[in-house]
Amino acid sequence: MRHRDVMVHTTDDIKTYPFMYARTLMIFHAKVRLGGRGEWHSVEFLWVRWLSLDQRGGPNNLRLDRVRYRRGDRAFGFLDPAQIIRGCHLIPAFHYRRTTDLLGPSLCRDSRHGDWSKYYVGRFVDRDMMMRYLGLGVGHLNTPDFPHEI
């Protein structure tokens, strides 16, 4: 899977940071019956590995946002594809190197050599992505810090 990093609106306080990021591990298609009765329904969902904000970026900070994999019980989860805003561009922060401290040997690792410790979020990868952060695009979420971000 090549383009597997996605962004969604945060479930936390939007004033802190408006987005959450995830790496898609698998895509599932299931036939389910709600409550064990009735008709079968098709359900699609993603198994993801969540990333958390490590350091806030932006024009005032003169750096890109930096994220890292979550640890513990909140490291993995399931996601409804309808919640995805769009794919995103996560750039390995080579300075921080790879680590094997997050997971033991696993198919969920970035590679057999370990995970990248941190990633930069490519907010300028295209016009649409930039407008997501500035809040000026049609139908885009207005971020609370917009006046201070220019």
Q: How many angstroms separate the CA atoms of 10 and 19, rounded?
A: 5
pLDDT digits (tens, 9 = 90+) for 72-97: 889 999 999 999 988 889 999 999 99
Q: Does 69 or 136 have the greater pLDDT score?
A: 69
Q: What is the mean pLDDT of the chain?
A: 82
Q: Is the pLDDT of residue 147 over 50?
A: no
Overall pTM > 0.85: no
Q: Is the pLDDT of residue 43 over 90?
A: yes
Q: Which of 147, 141, 105 is nearest to 9 (CA)?
A: 141
pLDDT at 132: 67
pLDDT at 48: 96
pLDDT at 142: 56
The DSSP secondary structure of 105-144, one letter per residue, reads: S-TTSSBTTBEES-EEE-TTSSHHHHHHHHT-STTPPPPT
pLDDT at 114: 81
Domain borders along the chain are 5-143
